[in-house]
Amino acid sequence: MKNIQIITDSSADLSKEIVEKYGIDVVPFYVSFSEETYLKEGEEISQKDFYDQLVSSEANPKTACPSIDDYYTRFEKAVKENLSVICFTLSQKFSGSFQSAVNAKNMILEDYANAKVEVIDSLSATGSQGLLVLECCKMAENNLDFEEVCQRSKILATTSGILFTVDDLKFLQRGGRIGKASALAGKLLNIKPLIKLDDGELLPEGKVRGRKKAILEIEHGISKKIKNVKEFSFAKLSFFENESPDDLRLDENANYIKLNIGATIGAHTGPTAIGIAYIRNYNDDFVDKLVVKEEKQAIKENKKIEKLEKKIEKLESKKENLINKN
């Protein structure tokens, strides 16, 4: 790929096969079931071990974002290999991962003046973050330059989302996302919440009775939001070896991958979530129009700046003339 190293934190939940295919560098989050020990997600604790402990333990798992040093080490390695770096992080509304990466970027630019490093807030998590990273890989493969890949990636981040449900509300309750009364009522009445991830935030989309009804509502919600599936890429999401994402149906023309939801989001939702993530394709006409619009706006802003600079020059000149006269 055109001398670009693509890096993401582990919240993207990309499979080992995808990571190896595109040479993506994954910086792990940390997971803990105790106060003392934090393990690197995917390296020191597998998805299976995480979910086994999640189900068997009453402890509320905690996650911690990668450190500045974690990012600095990955950035420096790429820079020393004369590669430009594009790094994607979990939405900064969820985590400090973005800020850690930005701080590491600033340190790299101090140490390596000619380095090219861009950190992009995915405005998402899990499957939608993973889809954004994949679109970035496709752009790099098709030889788009560094600046255009960054520009389009930032635009694409605003087009992504997830719609999902969970079968057991106790994990949301344990994590403080809902109250005990709501969790108990949900269990007694077989209520399943519909949750969307939009603009970097988890928001309620509704609630229904029964798992099958919830899955139908997810399918309906996606088809209602997205009229032309060929303009988008999708990910069917489920938890490790729990429930097949094939239970979720997409239009036969939809392009999708299957991903297991990892510990970063799983720590809050438990092992029963299932959903669909989506993002626009990088070469879609809609994205092209947004790129042109952004470039026109930039030209306007530059012209405004030029006018202001000329006004300042004139004022400075007048000031200097007055001083000379006196």
84 lies in the same domain as 228: no
Residue 299 belongs to some domain of the structure:
no
Q: Give the whole-angstrom CA distance, residue 175 versus residue 213.
A: 25
Give the helix/strand (H/E) hosting 54. helix 47-56
**Which residue segment(s) compose the domain that 191 sits in?**
161-280
Residue 322 belongs to some domain of the structure:
no
18 lies in the same domain as 136: yes
In tens digits, what is the pLDDT along the chain, a chain of 326 residues? 669 999 999 999 999 999 999 999 999 999 998 877 899 999 999 888 888 888 887 777 889 999 999 999 999 999 999 999 999 999 999 899 999 999 999 999 999 999 999 999 999 999 999 999 999 999 999 999 999 999 999 999 999 999 998 876 666 655 554 444 343 344 545 778 888 888 777 777 888 888 889 899 999 999 999 999 999 999 999 875 555 566 788 988 999 999 999 988 888 777 888 999 999 999 867 677 666 666 656 666 666 676 666 667 766 776 677 677 66
Residue 214 belongs to some domain of the structure:
yes
45 lies in the same domain as 125: yes
Q: How many distinct structural domains can be found in the chain? A: 2
What pLDDT score was predicted for residue 171? Answer: 65
Q: Give the whole-angstrom CA distance, residue 310 versus residue 287.
A: 35
What pLDDT score was predicted for residue 181? Answer: 36
- Distance from chain centroid for Cα 74: 18
What pLDDT score was predicted for residue 177? Answer: 47
273 lies in the same domain as 167: yes
Residue 307 belongs to some domain of the structure:
no
Per-residue DSSP letter, 269: H
Angstrom CA distances, 29 to 35, 182, 208, 226, 262, stand at 16, 30, 33, 32, 10
72 lies in the same domain as 203: no
Amino acid code (one letter) for 242: N
Residue with tokens 């009364």: 181
pTM of the model: 0.85
What pLDDT score was predicted for residue 238? Answer: 87
Tell me how crowded residue 186 is: count the other CB atoms within 10 A of its CB: 22
165 lies in the same domain as 149: no
223 lies in the same domain as 255: yes
Q: Give the whole-angstrom CA distance, residue 215 versus residue 235.
A: 15
Q: Are 64 and 257 in contact (CB under 8 A)?
A: no
Specify the CATH number for the domain of residue 102. 3.40.50.10170
187 lies in the same domain as 260: yes
165 lies in the same domain as 24: no
Q: Give the whole-angstrom CA distance, residue 166 versus residue 154.
A: 29
Q: For the chain, how big is the Rg over CA atoms in Å?
A: 23
What pLDDT score was predicted for residue 231? Answer: 93
